[in-house]
Amino acid sequence: MDGRGVVTRQAAQGKQRGATRRESGAETRRRLLEAAEELFSQEGFERVSVRDITERASANVAAINYHFGSREGLVGQVMARYINPINEERLRLLDEIEARHGDSPPPLEEVMDAFVRPFATQVSRSELSERLFFKLMARVCGDQLAELPAEVERGFETMLARFRAAFRRCLPEVPEEELTWRIHFAVGAMLHSMAHWEMLNRFSQGAAGSPTTETILNRLIQFAVAGMNQGR
Amino acid sequence: MDGRGVVTRQAAQGKQRGATRRESGAETRRRLLEAAEELFSQEGFERVSVRDITERASANVAAINYHFGSREGLVGQVMARYINPINEERLRLLDEIEARHGDSPPPLEEVMDAFVRPFATQVSRSELSERLFFKLMARVCGDQLAELPAEVERGFETMLARFRAAFRRCLPEVPEEELTWRIHFAVGAMLHSMAHWEMLNRFSQGAAGSPTTETILNRLIQFAVAGMNQGR
DNA sequence: AAGTTTTTCAATCAAGTGTTTGACAGCTGG
DNA sequence: CCAGCTGTCAAACACTTGATTGAAAAACTT
């Protein structure tokens, strides 16, 4: 009677044998993050318990508190893991655009592209499926910014300030307040389509032609640009 | 030592003396709904416990199960209470528009107006503040439609089908799939501005002029119309 | 090799969850 | 007046929640 009925984690997971213990620590941490991402994107940050996560990750309940301090700490990590790189890439693309156009204001379409596209490019970095990734990002950006980890929130604010300035240069004749609203509308269109990516893709597949992420991205950009310009 | 320290509900609430017992039942039910609406709009449907609600409503914990069968039943009632009248008003306005224009397709702007305006008109029916009302509506429409009560969901679907047909007539040259996306973008813009009404109003108040609900509504409609039209 | 640090685990904690119960109060209609 | 609803309430229900404990195990260091 050594391991009667009890399946060890190694056997259940098929974890490679060569992993040293120190690697195993990071491995568990990674598995927890991955499980949390999947569950959070499907159910939302509220509805998922630490036991749901540890069970899916084949880890002990205490693992989350050991590796992340608390449930909240894990949530913060999940939020930061993709959104920070995305915000950084946004700024990088904006830098390129502004460098390319020098003193003259850049085309609105390019700025909007830099604002939206990083979600599509960073999706491949994730081990999540496209639909879960977008759902997760929509939850991170949309829920309420008060709950974001301080570091993530600061990143958001500086990013938004830069883009706001860029939009302002694109649309010099639009009043400040009006510009705020238009940006907000565009963000809403973006978040909502990410949140319901799955449903919209289902619709699209009925039609002819393959609705790639790229075409959807272009549609969103066209819509947002038209809304920002408003007939100009 | 009769009521030592214990404040009765009547005293705490200042409830009018003339209310019969039967009226009191409906009164409690109303107070529960009101408390639930406030808390749900502030915290979201997940984070609020039945005890939070009954405490705020100065009622017993069992009251929710007595009056609504379960917590879920209360959630359904809260969702249905405003969203159904809104969807009905949307259809009523659309009827008027289509009657007015006969066989010729109605202007896109009018259809979009009928789609958005009912939120603004029904807000006054509510005892909630404007900002809580919009927050609540954004949660109802945005979270995930899978959880809506069956009756509410059916209402949503028939309303959307009618508006989709109307938009189709306004934009006959736009392919079906493309139209789906543009409507979705517009809905996203609408929901996001409702969810962050408070923040946006704060921005606006810094600027000159009074940012009434009407002007915000118009900005949203202009943005959505421009996005739907896309330069035409 | 022995000793130290890192990681895992079952068991347990206090607090909170939605719901049910049975007794009690008050209005209603006979 | 008194049975019969209707509504309220404190108490308890069974269960889940995030977090902690102390011991055992594994990995690393010297």
Residue A116 has pLDDT above 80, yes or no: yes
Task: Compute how many other C-beta atoms are within 10 angstroms of the C-beta atom of residue B61.
Answer: 13
For residue B9, say whether its CB is under 7 Å from any atom of strand D. yes
| Closest residue to C20 (CA, C1′) | B62
C-alpha–C-alpha distance, residues A152 and A131, integer Å = 22
How confident is the model at residue B208, as a pLDDT? 52
Residues A101 and A210 reside in one and the same domain: yes
Residues (126-155, chain B) with CB within 7 Å of strand C atoms: none
| Closest residue to D17 (CA, C1′) | A49
Which residue is it, tokens 């809104």? B86
Is A4 inside a domain boundary?
Answer: no
Residues B52 and B91 reside in one and the same domain: no
Q: What is the CA radius of gyration of chain A?
A: 21
Angle made by CA atoms B197, B202, B208, in degrees to the nearest 5: 120
Residues B51 and B105 reside in one and the same domain: no
Helix B213-229 vs helix A176-195: crossing angle, to nearest 10: 60
Residue A121 has pLDDT above 50, yes or no: yes
Nearest CA among B190, B226, B218 for reference residue B108: B226
Residues A158 and A182 reside in one and the same domain: yes
How confident is the model at residue A51, as a pLDDT? 98
CB B111 within 8 A of CB B163: yes
Residues A96 and A175 reside in one and the same domain: yes
Average pLDDT over every residue of A181-187? 97
> Pick the residue with more confidence: B205 or A117?
A117
Is A74 inside a domain boundary?
Answer: no
Residues in CB range of A164: below 8 A, 6 or more apart: A179, A180, A183
Q: Find the CB nearest A223 among B47, B182, B191.
A: B182
The total of structural domains in chain A comes to: 2
Is B144 inside a domain boundary?
Answer: yes
Average pLDDT over every residue of A126-141? 92
Residue A9 has pLDDT above 50, yes or no: no
For residue B66, say whether its CB is under 7 Å from any atom of strand D. yes
> Pick the residue with more confidence: A148 or B162?
B162
pLDDT range class, residue A5, cuts 50, 70, 90: very low
Residues B33 and B106 reside in one and the same domain: no
Residues A91 and A61 reside in one and the same domain: no
Residue A222 has pLDDT above 60, yes or no: yes
CATH number at residue B141: 1.10.357.10
Residues A103 and A196 reside in one and the same domain: yes
Average pLDDT, chain A: 86
Residues in CB range of A155: below 8 A, 6 or more apart: A83, A84, A87, A88
Is B45 inside a domain boundary?
Answer: yes
How confident is the model at residue A147, as a pLDDT? 76
How confident is the model at residue B149, as a pLDDT? 85
Residue A200 has pLDDT above 60, yes or no: yes
Range of the domain at A42: 14-68
How confident is the model at residue A119, as a pLDDT? 96
Q: How far is A182 from chain B (nearest CA, A)?
A: 7
Average pLDDT over every residue of A123-145? 87
pLDDT in tens, A12-35: 333 333 344 456 678 999 999 999
For residue B226, say whether its CB is under 7 Å from any atom of strand C. no
CATH number at residue A35: 1.10.10.60
How confident is the model at residue B145, as a pLDDT? 52
How confident is the model at residue B227, as a pLDDT? 98
Average pLDDT per block of 10 residues along chain B, 232 residues long = 37 40 79 97 94 97 97 95 96 98 96 97 90 93 74 93 97 94 97 86 58 89 97 72
Q: Find the CB nearest B200 among A181, A206, A219.
A: A181
Percent share of chain A, pLDDT over 70: 82
pLDDT range class, residue A4, cuts 50, 70, 90: very low
Is A73 inside a domain boundary?
Answer: no
